[in-house]
Amino acid sequence: MGVDTSPECRKDVKKHALLVAVSLHSHVAGILKHGIEMAQRGVKITYVGTEKDLSKLRTDEEVKGLDFNLISFEDYPSSQQIISSPSFNLFSFISSARELFQPVLDMLLAEKQAGRPGPTCIIGDRLLPFALDAAKLLEIPHYQFYSCGANFARILQAYPPLFGDGTLTMRPALCQPKGKIVKSLTEFEGENSEGVIVIPRRRKLVGHAELEKAIRFIMSEEGSALRSRVQELKRISAAAAADGGAKKKALDDLVEFIPGVAEL
């Protein structure tokens, strides 16, 4: 979690975090887990997302007992029109996220102008930079949420040698020169006429023989050190998530940092 803005705002209202994430399971699940834990600490949560992401939350007993407000993009005609398009997909969501969120932002700005309390911070997905602009307009802090796991760390670790031997090729930017975000996988599979993008791409896919070899190594005597390391990392992760652990303390610190008063 990173802090991008920290303007002064009212301290006499309830702590209220507005959450917005990319409509992708790993992103939604991660930010909502934090949201539920913050709500359990007395923070009001407003989550803005697609109806697909909200449907299960509407019947979740744990969420029902918390100060948890759900706003669907589909509640607004202009956003509904975008989402209902047959060609709408993950890339469409990212490229049109600012437009999808605009009706929600207009509502929040109107509430603010009327003097009614609203969010005291925005926690936005790292892939949704519009959240920072929204926070500036609302004059509240913006915290950036990074959704990742052990696989993400491993990818970062593996990139340098794979780029070095030519297995992967990638241009620095994922956007076209005028800032237009790519909208389909086909645009990723080579360099277009403007000399833009290619995202990491292997020369060949990992085959069953390679997978079998890796599994046999892990299960062999030679792989015992690797198995022991995995078990140690599992123990460390569990300790971090336990009461008094690093994860709990970090979340407590975040709640303390959010402007306003926690109400349990």
Q: Contact, 153 vs 176, CB < 8 A?
A: no
Q: Which of 92, 103, 121 is nearest to 23 (CA)?
A: 92
The model carries a pTM of 0.70
pLDDT along the chain (264 residues), means of 10: 52 88 87 91 94 88 88 94 89 89 96 93 91 94 78 67 69 38 42 42 66 88 88 87 84 90 76
Q: Contact, 128 vs 119, CB < 8 A?
A: no
**What gap in Å lies between CA 181 and CA 162, rounded to an integer?**
25
Q: Contact, 143 vs 2, CB < 8 A?
A: yes
Long-range contact set of residues 25-29: C-beta below 8 Å, sequence gap at least 24: 26/147, 26/149, 27/125, 27/127, 27/147, 28/53
Strands 16-20 and 121-125: parallel
Residue 5's pLDDT is what? Answer: 52
Q: Which of 127, 153, 131, 170 is nearest to 27 (CA)?
A: 127
Task: Give ∠ CA 171-176-179 in degrees, rounded to 5.
Answer: 125
Q: Contact, 34 vs 13, CB < 8 A?
A: no
User: Could you give the angle at which helices 90-113 and 130-138 cross, rounded to 10 degrees?
Assistant: 0
Tokens of 238: 């569990």
**What gap in Å lies between CA 35 and CA 251, rounded to an integer?**
10
Tokens of 216: 């046999």
Residue 241's pLDDT is what? Answer: 80
Residue 199's pLDDT is what? Answer: 44
